[in-house]
Each structure stands twice: as C-alpha cells, then as structure tokens.
Amino acid sequence: MPGDLRELITASFDAAAADAWSKFTVGEADKLVLHEAALKVLKVFPGRMPGQCALMSALYSLALEKLGSQRGYVAAGSLYIDGKRVFGEDKEFDGKELFSESNLDWDGHAWVIYGDWLADVSVCRTADAGSPRILSKYIAKELGKGKGFLACRMAAMDPSGIRYVPQYVLTQDQVDAVGHGALAMIDKLNGIQ
C-alpha cells in the first residue's frame, strides 16, 4: 500500500509532500494527537450516522493539521472485510472531479493517512448503524460496539480482516471544501435540534 500512497500523494500534492509523508513515523506524542483530533470530530457528529466518511475524514484531517506536526491525508477508495468489498468499486474513478462537487452516488470509503498510520473516524459509526451487516459484525467482534474510531500502524493491518485500498488522495482544496461543508451541515443539524 505505501507505494500506491506515495504516488497518490504526489499526484494530489507534490513529490516533496510525498517524501515528507514517507519519512514520518508516528510516535507516542503523535498517537495522542490522532486521539485528540478524532475526539473533536466525533464530538460534533451525531452518533450512528452512516455515510459520512468523506465529511468526517476531511474534518479529521483539518483537526490533525491544527493539533499535529504533520499533515493527515484524506484517502478515498475501497474497504474490504474478509476479502469481500463493503464500499467502493474495482474500477478507477476521477477523484479530482468527484470531490470537486457534491456526489451522493459515490459508494466508496474515505479515511485518513497520518505518516505510517491509518485512522478512520467514521467506520465504527457506520458499523454501529447496522449496515452493511458484514461491517457491523466485524467491528463488533474485533473492536466492540460503540467505539469511536479505528487507528493503527498500516503495517500491522491484517489484510485477511479489514483492508483499505486507496485510489485517490484528496487535494487540500478538496479537503477544505468538504470540511467546510461538514461544518455547515453540523450547524444546520444543530439549528434543527
């Protein structure tokens, strides 16, 4: 996966950004930043709200940028459980176009790459909502119900369990736009309640 990510980061940012990413190894202080940023995002999003992965990941990336020493990249692609595709497609998609406008038809998944770690603030919320069932069962068995987020070193991920396949890394302009859209949606929800 890291070879693919390096190319994706280069395509959306530049070679210097990809180089900085590849040299960043998450330490103990960085793990605290991952946790603190995730809690900030989870606090503003209502529980059991599936289908918000791009919005939540963009906010997570922005929170990491404010709290951490390194950039968190929003990756988009497919998610597999036990070799079965849960979200996404095998075919390529045009991420520049897709994330430059609202697209409710996209069936992929988004998460954050922070150095050598993968962090996902939406997968547990989606699993707790109960659908898709294969995801709900996997997360309940491996992490338990009601967990906030998943974060682990990419090298430690078991590809026979949960597998993330990146196909695109959002540009900073896209992260900013999606993140601001998420904040506007949250403000609207808060105004209704």
pLDDT-based confidence at 28, cuts 50/70/90?
A: very high
Highest mean pLDDT among 39-53, 71-85, 124-138: 71-85
Which segments of the chain are extended strands (E)? 73-81, 84-87, 109-114, 117-120, 150-153, 162-169
Q: Does 63 have pLDDT greater than 70?
A: yes
Euclidean distance between CA atoms 125 and 60, whole angstroms: 14
| Residue whose structure tokens are 């993968």 | 118
Euclidean distance between CA atoms 81 and 49, whole angstroms: 20
Percent of the chain at pLDDT > 70 equals 92
Average pLDDT over residues 3-24: 94
Contacts for 165 with CB less than 8 Å, ≥ 6 apart:
1, 77, 78, 79, 80, 88
Q: What is the pTM of this model?
A: 0.91
Looking at the 3D structure of the chain, how many domains does it have?
1
Euclidean distance between CA atoms 22 and 19, whole angstroms: 5
Q: Does 1 have pLDDT greater than 60?
A: no
Lowest mean pLDDT among 37-51, 78-92, 158-172: 37-51
Average pLDDT over residues 165-171: 95
> pLDDT for 77-110, tens place per residue?
999 999 999 999 877 888 888 887 765 567 899 9
Domain housing 134: 2-192
